[in-house]
Amino acid sequence: MKKDAKIYIAGHNGMVGSGLLRRLKAEGYTNFLLRSSKELDLRNQQLVNELFEQEKPEYVFIAAAKVGGILANDTYRAEFLYDNLIIQTNVIHAAYMNKVKKLMFLGSSCIYPELAPQPLREDFLLLGPLGPTNQPYAIAKIAGIKMCDAYRDQYGCNYISVMPTNLYGPNDNYDLEKSHVLPALIRKFHEAKRDGAKEVVIWGTGSPLREFLHVDDMVDACYHLMLHYDEGGLVNVGMGKDISIKNLALLVKEIVGFEGDLAHDMTKPDGTPRKLLDITKLEKSGWTPKISLRDGISQVYADLQDEEWY
Catalytic residues, by residue number, are: 137
Bridge partners (DSSP) of residue 250 are: none
CA of 260: how far to CAs of 48, 207, 257, 266, 306, in Å? Answer: 50, 20, 9, 19, 21
Bridge partners (DSSP) of residue 105 are: 62, 161
Q: Are 287 and 223 in contact, with CB atoms under 8 Å apart?
A: no
Q: What is the CA radius of gyration of the chain?
A: 19
Q: At what angle do helices 293-304 and 245-256 cross, to 10 degrees?
A: 50
Q: Are 130 and 252 in contact, with CB atoms under 8 Å apart?
A: no
Q: Are 281 and 123 in contact, with CB atoms under 8 Å apart?
A: no
Segment (H or E) for 23: helix 15-26
Segment (H or E) for 247: helix 245-256
3-state secondary structure labels for all residues of 127-158:
CCCCCCCCHHHHHHHHHHHHHHHHHHHHHCCC
